[in-house]
Structure 1
């Protein structure tokens, strides 16, 4: 009688241990399956298929942080081209400056107002001078936001008789606005912008 009860108790303990092991195994399998499924879905969402000339190409999405230095430099380049690439036409000057001011705060507006008050743009128009800027390099610190930058560029003042080449150095900080618009496609804003140097480098005669 007691031996039979002991056998029943032993069998129950075996069944209990087996059940616990089975439950634990099911939990582990479910967790692994959930992880694999999540990873597969995430990778699938990052894939983009592009149809070009009747052919399908696969592209991969990336986080904005991975492209941050490229986007920041492009925003800085766009701003400087809008601000400094000018033709001797009052409407075109105002049009480009308007585009530049969407990319920067009031510090850029103050620089523009100073140039207006000094008669700089009137001199461009009256002397029929075209102004071009070429970005040489951009020193950028992306470790801390807002991001500090220094822009080194070459500015050309092109007349009919000669071309004046100037060294241009500016600096500022750039803040992430979080929202992109048609007028500000990168969603950044240049702040505390100032011109450190804008001095003549060479004076080349036109052929």
Structure 2
């Protein structure tokens, strides 16, 4: 009876070990990938979600279809607060100005402060914006704040977070070249 119980225990242990890893072939070489619980990577995924949203919302080229596509993807990652900011920018002619002036806008996220102690998770994002024109480059600082709420993962929202109460705290010029 003891031997049978021990054999069952060991086979269960071996099965769990096999199921917790996957072999992935990269460039013809097998690489072992370990399965991790979501909580193990929660902060990394939250930072990536915030970074992806800002990249999609603020990295724009002077093409109406490209702007619409990028903003459309960004709006899947945030609530109505981002939609309101988009609508305000559109109504003020900001995107039309980018297109007519052939201005490319790039963003680099410098740092993200994130409070993971309780949900919704508060964040503050510091970034640098560059607006590239034929006449020169304008560099701006950008500081935004908001909270993250857990939601279901989807194809449009792979990290499973939703940015809420998003607002721009600072967006000022720092250098013109």
Q: Under a length normalisation based on structure 2, what TM-score does the superposition of the two structures give?
A: 0.91
2:132 is the alignment partner of 1:148: no
For structure 2, the residue ranges without an aligned partner over 5 or more in a row are: none
Looking at structure 2, the residues matched to 129 and 50 of structure 1 have their Cα atoms a distance apart, in angstroms, of: 42
2:177 is the alignment partner of 1:186: no
For structure 1, the residue ranges without an aligned partner over 5 or more in a row are: 1-25
Q: Shift of the alpha carbon at 1:151?
A: 0.4
Alignment-derived partner of residue 58 in structure 2: 84
- Residue 56 of structure 1: which of 30, 51, 54 is its match? 30
SS at match of 1:163: strand
SS at match of 1:200: strand
Alignment-derived partner of residue 196 in structure 1: 169
**Residues 86/53 of structure 1: CA separation in 2 closer, same or farther (3 Å cut):** closer
Q: Under a length normalisation based on structure 1, what TM-score does the superposition of the two structures give?
A: 0.78
SS at match of 1:140: strand
- Residue 110 of structure 2: which of 136, 154, 159 is its match? 136
Alignment-derived partner of residue 147 in structure 2: 173
- Bigger helix share: 1
Which one is further off, 76-85 or 113-122? 113-122
Q: Shift of the alpha carbon at 1:36?
A: 4.5
**Residues 133/53 of structure 1: CA separation in 2 closer, same or farther (3 Å cut):** closer
Q: Shift of the alpha carbon at 1:190?
A: 0.7
